[in-house]
Amino acid sequence: MHDNDAFRFTEEERELLAKTADALTAYSGKPVFAETGIAENGMEWVAFGIPLAPEEEADEETMHIQMGGEQAQWLGSRGGVEDDPHALYDCVFLWAIQISDEEGARFVKLDQEGDVADVSDDLAELLPFGFTEAELPDDDEEDDDDEDDDALPPGVTLH
């Protein structure tokens, strides 16, 4: 059993996972939950799921999981769902990522059937969206668009 920080998501990784859940919510128009937990072997995992509406029944062909409960550790905004954060939800399982102690495979991604889909030492490689800090131009750099504006006669506006 592993019980140290090497087998836990870092704060930076947790933020990336939270942003992923929130971006999936925006992209799909449905709430997407991300919940973390610790497996029996001491490794941390995160599962992504879409909660079913109370009147909605799970499709027999689609894997679904229970998310939430008293010990739930949510990442992200839970798709804007403002119910009791300790409620249980029946969710369509999207995928999960587990931390691994295998060399070259710190992260193991499981697909909708729970099968290994991919492995990587870089969490971002396993996520559907790229979240990188865009480089902003220096404030000292001049705006090249201003040069074109000088060539226009006064009172003329380009549309």
Q: Considering all CA atoms of the chain, what is the largest pairwise distance in Å, rounded to the nearest integer?
A: 75
Domains of the chain, by residue range, sit at: 11-126
Residue stretches of the chain with pLDDT short of 70 = 1-3, 130-159
The predicted structure's pLDDT at residue 82: 79
pTM of the predicted protein model: 0.77
Long-range contacts formed by 110-114: CB under 8 A, 24+ apart: 112/62, 112/63, 113/63, 114/63
